[in-house]
Structure 1
């Protein structure tokens, strides 16, 4: 009996030691695992890949180690596979929103990324299958997109393959695979306006939409970018409603007036501002006057500065407001009068220097708002 137990134990130990236990080790071949990511507009672009090294194989990478076109990998179901655009497992590129690759639409999602290399033109392949190992199970029927790009010769050697984000812009970026003395670039574009509005719609339905500030922020963004104005007006209705607490606040009413003005409804905008002005502080009303100046509306700005002065006479801010208002109308004599009164009331050295500069401009016959 003891002998049988002993033999069973030996057999069990032999089975355990010969089993493949999936413990964590360094990647095979010394190929470094890497992740690079960047936000383009509101789209997160993430690339997970493994980094092979040149390791003394200069001149033998492109066209040899990385074969041209499609080849039989000799394993798995694929008989005609492109390069896996890295080492070991799939290179995976993920987009949180829809994008354009070299001008071609690609939906949000995770993609296996492959390259069919050629010296003059490379074919980039985004596969719907991002979970298979390497290129051994590549199937062209799973392609989501193919685009062609020109490889670029580098002036210095890149030992370890890497992906770089270059030429960043508000809604686009160039991704460049670099290895040895070759780069393969491709442009990613996002529809920032579409993504931003979609994000606002989603967030305004969450707990973030329970305060007037959120509705106001979304509407202000639309005004600043001159887009989605009809919906922005509805957002200002929420921002100025009693439900979200903005009905007695100056800022959301100003935003509503700005949306109406942008929509060509100037009379309605004026009516809204008449309602809003009594709610504003001296600084808020002054800043609104400056906004009107920036919009090249000097008469409207002067009316605001004058109303602010009448409510808060002989204060530094309102005196400066009248200085700007009269100057914008070309009445430098009256502007000089109020700037002179404002100077001794300047609350700090920065404001004092600013008024002194205004005084000098007015003496020189120049508009202080220029």
Structure 2
């Protein structure tokens, strides 16, 4: 009796132990595990999925293996389940920031991804439940978002299901599920401007905000995108002030002056630039004068080019600057004179070719800017 009891206990122990052991194997059904991701704007988009293969079932996938609409799969508690948009476990998609899907808002987070297939117009579903197995327990009350997409026929068959990021721009991309002969694309848009400003606001409160360059970078970005200018001016104040090492530098003061100009405070901007120019290096003065040309201020640009030449005479950069300045003011004769003086001083073949092209234009009476 004692031996029998010990044997029963040992058998129970083994059964309990084995039930907890799960060794790593390939996914069932010969499918492949995969993940893919891209950064859209400042938003990381990550998809985890299992990849089924066509395996000779061409023409039997859509409307066959993948049913039309919602079905009772005979397992789990869902009586109207969509396709799991992959194989095995839930396909999941995760966004690190808020996004828009086909123009509709979706909060940052991780979602179960499903598709209710229809040959004319399918439904892509983002579910708040991202941890269930497949769609056996799908509940439409857990839907965070549904969008309609049109399946697109592809020229080439895709053997193993995959997700691609297509048509990428600074703040958007198309995510496309591709398998066999069909593609299911949906557009993901991010609010890059909002996300970038929020990132600056957070990072400038860390150790990164202890140096003027970080404040100037944030201010310059806002200037270039013409957004958040009032706060950008505060950031430029920090960059050019005494606390972070930029008080005696040209660049942060020039940034502040440009922002003041954007805000319509021209007089303040000009006063600040007069203070800043003596701090500028030869290249900084040259680039500032070129920016004035871009702003359609050729006379002001000429003043800076001439001041730079006076401070750094007979240099390749300042000679080219005078050529650009005179050209911007339609004095092509003087522009040609200084361009020809600059040519033999060119530091490399690229600059030499650039000046030679300027000379050709000036001889034809064309502006080189």
User: Normalized against structure 1, the TM-score is what?
Assistant: 0.93
Spell out, residue by residue over 1:275-295, the C-alpha distance to the aligned partner (whole angstroms, 9 max, x if none).
110111111111111111122
Name stretches of at least 5 consecutive residues in structure 2 with no aligned partner. Answer: none
Alpha-carbon distance between aligned partners in 2 of 1:355 and 1:181, rounded to the nearest angstrom: 54
What is the CA distance between 1:9 and its match in structure 2?
Answer: 8.0
What is the CA distance between 1:362 and its match in structure 2?
Answer: 2.7
Task: Name which of structure 1's ranges 62-71 and 11-20 shifts more when overlaid on structure 2.
Answer: 11-20
Match of 1:129 in 2: 129
3-state SS in 2 of match to 1:159: strand
1:312 aligns with 2:312: yes
User: Normalized against structure 2, the TM-score is what?
Assistant: 0.93
Distance change in 2, residues 1:33/1:297 (3 Å): same
Match of 1:111 in 2: 111
Spell out, residue by residue over 1:147-172, the C-alpha distance to the aligned partner (whole angstroms, 9 max, x if none).
11111122222211111111112211
What is the CA distance between 1:353 and its match in structure 2?
Answer: 3.9
Match of 1:57 in 2: 57
What is the CA distance between 1:2 and its match in structure 2?
Answer: 9.4
Match of 2:35 in 1: 35
Distance change in 2, residues 1:17/1:325 (3 Å): closer
1:94 aligns with 2:64: no
Alpha-carbon distance between aligned partners in 2 of 1:345 and 1:10, rounded to the nearest angstrom: 91
Alpha-carbon distance between aligned partners in 1 of 2:37 and 2:360, rounded to the nearest angstrom: 52
What are the residue-to-residue correspondences of 1:206-355 with 2, within 5 Å? 206-355=206-355
3-state SS in 1 of match to 2:302: helix
3-state SS in 2 of match to 1:362: helix
Distance change in 2, residues 1:12/1:80 (3 Å): closer
Distance change in 2, residues 1:215/1:68 (3 Å): same
Name stretches of at least 5 consecutive residues in structure 1 with no aligned partner. Answer: none
3-state SS in 1 of match to 2:256: helix
What is the CA distance between 1:6 and its match in structure 2?
Answer: 7.3
Q: CA RMSD in A?
A: 2.1
What is the CA distance between 1:72 and its match in structure 2?
Answer: 1.6
What is the CA distance between 1:193 and its match in structure 2?
Answer: 1.2
Alpha-carbon distance between aligned partners in 1 of 2:159 and 2:357, rounded to the nearest angstrom: 57
Match of 1:21 in 2: 21
Distance change in 2, residues 1:86/1:360 (3 Å): closer
Distance change in 2, residues 1:328/1:10 (3 Å): closer
Spell out, residue by residue over 1:24-72, the C-alpha distance to the aligned partner (whole angstroms, 9 max, x if none).
1111111111101111111111110011112222222111211111112
Alpha-carbon distance between aligned partners in 2 of 1:18 and 1:362, rounded to the nearest angstrom: 86
Q: What is the number of residues matched between the two proteins?
A: 369
Alpha-carbon distance between aligned partners in 1 of 2:36 and 2:86, rounded to the nearest angstrom: 13
Task: Name which of structure 1's ranges 3-12 and 73-82 shifts more when overlaid on structure 2.
Answer: 3-12
